[in-house]
Amino acid sequence: MEYVTAKGVEVPALGFGTARMDTDDERYRAVSTALETGYRHVDTAQVYGSERAVGDALADSDVDRDDVFLTTKLADGNRDDRSVRESTRASLDRLDTEYVDLLLIHAPNDDVSHEETLNAMNDLRDDGLVRHVGVSNFSVEQTREAEDLSDAPILTNQVEYHVRHRQDDLLAYCVENDVLLTAYSPLGVGDVLGDESVQAVAERHGKAASQVALRWLLQQPMVAAIPMSSDPAHVRENFDVFDFELSGDEMRELFALGEAVDDDFAARLGL
């Protein structure tokens, strides 16, 4: 396993997502397979409906709870002070754990100030129920605002990020400010795996297109990825990305699938 260090915190660079699964049985089996495979970073959310299955899989696993970096996120309606506190405790009950490693604001919500939400999250951190706080689906400016408002460091911004949907401005901000960019939907929605350039690089390495798309992310500074699959073979395949590296030319080839990369930004990425 590789790790990304942000704000002095080591986070497993490859995590396991639990969105878009239909049943608790499917979620339980998927998370159980992920833990058996070696994943030590599990992502869930109040709106996914997967917290209880994640908790059951963790409880039944041979993996120690302290060895797993566990993330959940506040639902849109749980942003005021009271709802943050009550919903997080409910999440802990469903997850059958005394704490989560990371609690995120799932998406910006103009109905409640970020300051109120972050203050409540910080109090939960002070109480030991949450170890770190962060955001999701925030712009650069919103991330900057969150950092200004939170006493605790903003550990990550979790956003959609893959070879066909880059976040150059946000990644530049994250690199400069020691914030982790956690990439959800790192394989896109099928379009990434069918891309000829991705497939060509995969053939050169004897790897699957999914493994190349994930490797492209993991070789960037301050980036972690959380692929999701309920297919045991794909769960294992997505984890098998630590025995090869993409060359500089291959990284540039995959960056070329999107908009042109600014020269200064490319230099910071080592391209």
Instruction: List, by residue number, the catalytic residues.
Output: 48
d(CA 146, CA 150) in angstroms, rounded, equals: 6
CA angle 188, 79, 26 (to 5 degrees): 45
| Cα–Cα distances in angstroms (integers) from residue 49 to residues 22, 45, 74, 188, in the given order | 9, 7, 12, 22
Longest dimension (CA), the chain: 54
Specify the residue for token string 């993409």: 246
d(CA 46, CA 62) in angstroms, rounded, equals: 25
CA-based nearest residue to 252, from 163, 176, 180? 163
Q: Is 149 exposed, middle or buried (0-12, 13-18, 19+ CB in 10 A)?
A: middle
CA 138 remoteness from chain centre: 13
Q: Is 165 exposed, middle or buried (0-12, 13-18, 19+ CB in 10 A)?
A: middle
